[in-house]
Structure 1
C-alpha cells in the first residue's frame, strides 16, 4: 500500500538553525526556522521535532503553520544549548499545488555551531542548514 503513494521530492524548502541575539535575555541563541525558497506558498505545514542519541531523547514538539508564503521563512522553535549535543530531527509535511510533500531534516549531533554557518536561502542571514 505504501508503495502506491507518490510523495514528490522536496526542493527549495529548508530547515535552518540561525544564531540570533535575544534582547530579553541578552544572549546569543540558536533558533530553528523553516525556509520556503520556492515561488509558491506552502500550505498546512506540520512540523514534528525531537532530539536524540543512544542514551537520551527529548520530548516531541509539534508545530503547525497554516501558510508559509513564497520566498519567506518562519521561526519554528528556540534550540536550547543542552540539545545541541544531540541529533536534532525536524519532520516536515506540507501541501504545495495540491500535492503532499514530506521530509525529515536532520542536524547531526554537534553540527549546530558557528563554524558550520553559511548563507541561508531567502533569509539573508548566516546559519546551519539541516541535511
Structure 2
C-alpha cells in the first residue's frame, strides 16, 4: 500500500534566512521566509519549525499561510542568535491545486552566518537559502 502512494517532488519552493535591519531597535535580525518561486499559487501552507542538536531541543512552532501567491514570499519567523547554533528544521506542507506537497528543509548548525550570504530569488536581499 505504501508503495502506491506517490509524493510529488517539491520544486521552486524554498526557505531562506535573511539578515534584516530592525528599524525600531536598530539591530540586525535573522528572519526565516518561505519563497514561492513557481508560477502557481500555494494554498493552505502549514509550516512546523524546530531547532535541535544532541543536547538541546527548542519548542515546536507552527505557522499557517492561507495562500501564498505565485512568485512571492512570506515571513515565517524571527530566529534568535542562540538558535543559529542549532540545526533549524522547517517542515512545509501545502496544496498546489488539488495535489498535496511536503518537504523538510534543514539549515545545519552554524550555517546561518554572514559569510554564507548569497542573493535570494525574488527578495532582492542576501541570505542563506535551502532548496
Kindly report the root-mean-square deviation, in angstroms, between the aligned alpha carbons of the 2 structures: 0.9
Q: Does 1:111 align with 2:96?
A: no
1:34 deviation in Å? Answer: 0.2
Question: Greater CA deviation, 2-11 or 68-77?
Answer: 2-11
What TM-score do the two structures reach when normalised by structure 2?
0.97
How do 1:47-126 residues align onto structure 2 when only pairs under 5 Å count? Answer: 47-126=47-126
CA distance in 1 between partners of 2:75 and 2:45 (Å): 13
CA distance in 1 between partners of 2:75 and 2:14 (Å): 12
Q: Does 1:41 align with 2:27?
A: no
1:106 deviation in Å? Answer: 0.4
CA distance in 2 between partners of 1:61 and 1:82 (Å): 16
CA distance in 1 between partners of 2:87 and 2:33 (Å): 16
Give the 3-state SS of the residue equivalent to 2:85 in structure 1.
coil
Q: Which runs of 5+ in 1 are unaligned?
A: none
Q: Which runs of 5+ in 2 are unaligned?
A: none
CA distance in 2 between partners of 1:90 and 1:3 (Å): 25
Question: Greater CA deviation, 95-104 or 43-52?
Answer: 95-104
What TM-score do the two structures reach when normalised by structure 1?
0.97
